[in-house]
């Protein structure tokens, strides 16, 4: 068995390595599985492709001057891009430093993905004063609720560190996916417009998260011989597909608000009063 | 094996929902679509409120059914009133959604500015939307003359002690 390390790039690839090692799929003191068992050339190709796509997305936003329109999303993308580049550099220059900094980067990227959700919710709801806070309210409530009642109980059960890591990634992916579905459902119930940028961000992230859920569940249940090589390839493939969707969706900027013909400046100031009247009328109707 | 299938089904469901719900689209009034069957007038005038009262008033239906003894006619009236009630609720919802979609023309504000007011507004909007969805469900399932708030008849399953006045009445009737 070859002991040469495979350096995956980006959060999902690093999680793949971590779980391989944590489940005992790699050597005890290495962070990633042997090359022969994880299709090293394929993952390396996918890693480089992802790096390229991330670079293209950032370059397009910079050229189109819309980096500031999605500050949290592009901050996340830059974090992953620089982290991945740093991981490559660390692999060649100082493998020990890379191993040490792995956990920090891993936790940061896991939490940073929530920033993409906040960005999406802001972009959908922020232009409308009546529901401006709704996106963040939903995102915060679901995150806290799932963390307390879904993620923490799984981590409180005694078990192997690898099992805990797989549960953490899987359950946080479920939480993020539920947030996306809830945001979409609420936006649809109010007939809020959805542009290509926001839709693409959600479809890409949804694809990545749903494959993450299945991949980590299978990794937790099956052994290395059954699922080891597939596990290491599914993550990078789904992340690359996610980046492809983001590249197409964010090729050019579309404004979040499409103004109605009847909308006039000053209309927004009347919204609280009208909302109050709507609620009073409905309350009277319910009392009957 | 069951958790694997459960999570695979969940992931598939999430993916389908995201792809279906995330279709890019424009609001109906911008896309030139007809907003619902009717539209609530801008001014909440007396005629419009009278129409609402008539739709949800069961007096005509009860008069036809109980006093004139025309059950089939009463049933036809009920079904037409049900359709009108659904149309009215949909129109109300379309107008409300249009109000919610009123964009803010002022320069971009931070989330922290007027945060409590924004949260209250969001809560009012969600409350109204949920109640409308509930009302539509009740009207579709039980018709326009059903109470929106359950009557809690199940409480009668629990034996209640007789009222003191009722006991006195029975005692008095026995005496006389």
Question: Tens of pLDDT along A220-235?
Answer: 888 777 777 888 888 8
**Same domain for A211 and A69:** yes
Q: What is the pLDDT of residue B24?
A: 77
From residue A120, alpha-carbon distances to A69, A88, A103, A213, B110 in Å are 11, 30, 27, 21, 16
Mean pLDDT of A42-57: 88
- A271 and B102 in contact by Cβ < 8 A? yes
Q: Is residue A27's pLDDT more than 70? A: no
Average pLDDT across chain B, whole number? 75
**Same domain for A264 and A244:** no
Q: What is the pLDDT of residue A77?
A: 94
Q: What is the pLDDT of residues A204-257, one digit of tens each?
A: 999 999 999 999 888 888 877 777 788 888 888 999 999 999 999 999 998 866
Q: Is residue A34's pLDDT more than 50? A: no
Q: What is the pLDDT of residue A37?
A: 43
**Same domain for A283 and A164:** no
Q: Which two tokens stand for residue B22?
A: 């995330």
**Same domain for A273 and A155:** no
Q: What is the pLDDT of residue B58?
A: 85
Q: Is residue A9's pLDDT more than 70? A: no
Average pLDDT across chain A, whole number? 79
Mean pLDDT of A78-107: 79
Q: How many CB pairs under 8 A join A and B?
A: 185
- Any residues with CB less than 8 A from the CB of A166 and at least 6 apart, and which? A19, A22, A23, A216, A217, A219, A220
CB B121 within 8 A of CB A276: no
Domain range for A285 is 258-288
**Same domain for A148 and A77:** yes
CB A284 within 8 A of CB B44: no
Neighbours of A228 (CB within 10 A): 19
CB B120 within 8 A of CB A133: no
Mean pLDDT of B109-136: 78
Q: Is residue B21's pLDDT more than 80? A: yes
- B18 and A263 in contact by Cβ < 8 A? no
A residues 146-185 closer than 8 Å to B (CB): 170, 174, 177-178, 180-181, 184-185
- B105 and A266 in contact by Cβ < 8 A? yes
**Same domain for A271 and A219:** no
Distance (Å, rounded) from C-alpha A6 to C-alpha A12?
A: 14
- The DSSP secondary-structure symbol of B102 reads P
Lowest mean pLDDT among A3-12, A74-83, B106-115: A3-12
Question: Residue B32 region, left (φ>0) first, then alpha (ψ -120 to 50), else beta?
Answer: left
Distance (Å, rounded) from C-alpha A209 to C-alpha A216?
A: 10
Q: What is the pLDDT of residue A227?
A: 78
Q: What is the pLDDT of residue A26?
A: 42
**Same domain for A163 and A41:** yes
Mean pLDDT of A89-107: 74
Q: What is the pLDDT of residue A89?
A: 79
CB nearest to A260's CB, from B1, B27, B118: B27
Nearest CA in chain B to A196: B24
**Same domain for A210 and A115:** yes
pTM for this one?
0.76
Q: How many domains does chain A have?
A: 2
**Same domain for A277 and A162:** no
**Same domain for A263 and A216:** no
**Same domain for A16 and A96:** yes
Neighbours of A233 (CB within 10 A): 16
Q: How far is CA A185 from the centre of its chain?
A: 19
**Same domain for A147 and A116:** yes
Mean pLDDT of B63-89: 89
Which of helix, strand or coil describes residue A109? helix
Q: What stretch of H or E contains A59?
A: helix A40-63
Side-chain-side CA neighbours of A86 within 13 Å: the count stands at 14
| Cβ–Cβ contact A272 with B under 8 A | yes
Question: pLDDT class for A269, splitting at 50, 70, 90?
Answer: low
Q: Which two tokens stand for residue A103?
A: 């956990």
- B122 and A134 in contact by Cβ < 8 A? yes
Q: What is the pLDDT of residue A91?
A: 73
B residues 6-65 closer than 8 Å to A (CB): 7-8, 10-12, 14-15, 17-19, 21-30, 44, 52, 56
Mean pLDDT of B34-52: 59
Q: Is residue A178's pLDDT more than 90? A: yes
- Any residues with CB less than 8 A from the CB of A132 and at least 6 apart, and which? A125, A126, B104, B111, B118, B121, B122
Question: pLDDT class for A201, splitting at 50, 70, 90?
Answer: very high
């Amino acid at each position: 068995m070859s002991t040469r390390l495979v350096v995956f790039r980006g959060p999902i690839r690093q999680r793949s390595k971590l779980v391989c090692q944590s489940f005992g799929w790699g050597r005890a003191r290495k962070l990633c599985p042997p090359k022969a068992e994880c299709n090293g050339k394929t993952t390396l190709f996918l890693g480089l492709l992802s790096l390229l796509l991330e670079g293209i997305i950032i370059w397009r936003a910079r050229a189109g001057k819309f980096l500031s329109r999605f500050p949290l999303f592009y901050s996340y993308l830059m974090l992953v891009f620089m982290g991945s580049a740093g991981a490559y550099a660390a692999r060649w220059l100082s493998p020990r430093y890379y191993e040490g900094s792995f956990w920090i980067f891993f936790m940061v990227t896991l939490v940073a993905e929530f920033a993409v959700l906040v960005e999406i919710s802001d972009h959908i709801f922020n232009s409308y004063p009546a529901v401006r806070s709704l996106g963040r309210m939903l995102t915060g409530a679901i995150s806290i609720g799932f963390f307390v009642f879904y993620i923490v109980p799984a981590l409180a059960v005694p078990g192997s560190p690898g099992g805990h890591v797989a549960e953490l990634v899987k359950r946080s992916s479920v939480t993020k996916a539920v947030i996306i579905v809830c945001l979409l459902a609420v936006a649809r119930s109010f007939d809020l417009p959805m542009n290509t940028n926001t839709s693409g961000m959600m479809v890409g992230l949804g694809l990545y998260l749903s494959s993450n859920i299945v991949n980590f569940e299978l990794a937790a249940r099956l052994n290395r011989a059954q699922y080891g090589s597939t596990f290491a390839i599914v993550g990078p493939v789904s992340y690359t597909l996610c980046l492809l969707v983001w590249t197409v969706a964010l090729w050019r900027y579309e404004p979040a608000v499409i103004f109605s013909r009847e909308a006039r400046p000053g209309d927004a100031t009347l919204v609280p009063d009208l909302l109050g009247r709507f609620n009073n009328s409905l309350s009277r109707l319910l009392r009957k | 094996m069951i958790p694997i299938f459960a999570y695979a089904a969940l992931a598939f469901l999430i993916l389908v929902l995201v792809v279906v719900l995330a279709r890019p689209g424009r609001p109906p009034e911008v896309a030139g679509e007809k907003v619902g069957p009717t539209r609530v007038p801008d001014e909440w005038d007396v005629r419009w409120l009278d129409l609402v009262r008539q739709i949800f008033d069961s007096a005509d239906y009860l008069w036809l059914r109980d006093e004139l003894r025309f059950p089939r006619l009463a049933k036809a009236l009920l079904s037409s009133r049900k359709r009108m009630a659904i149309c009215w609720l949909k129109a109300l919802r379309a107008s409300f959604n249009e109000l919610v979609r009123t964009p803010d023309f002022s320069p971009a504000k931070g989330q922290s500015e007027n945060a409590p007011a924004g949260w209250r507004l969001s809560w009012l909007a969600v409350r109204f939307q949920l109640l409308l969805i509930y009302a539509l469900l009740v009207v579709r399932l039980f018709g326009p003359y059903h109470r929106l708030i359950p009557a809690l008849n199940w409480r009668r399953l629990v034996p209640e002690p007789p009222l003191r006045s009722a006991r006195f009445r029975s005692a008095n009737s026995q005496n006389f």
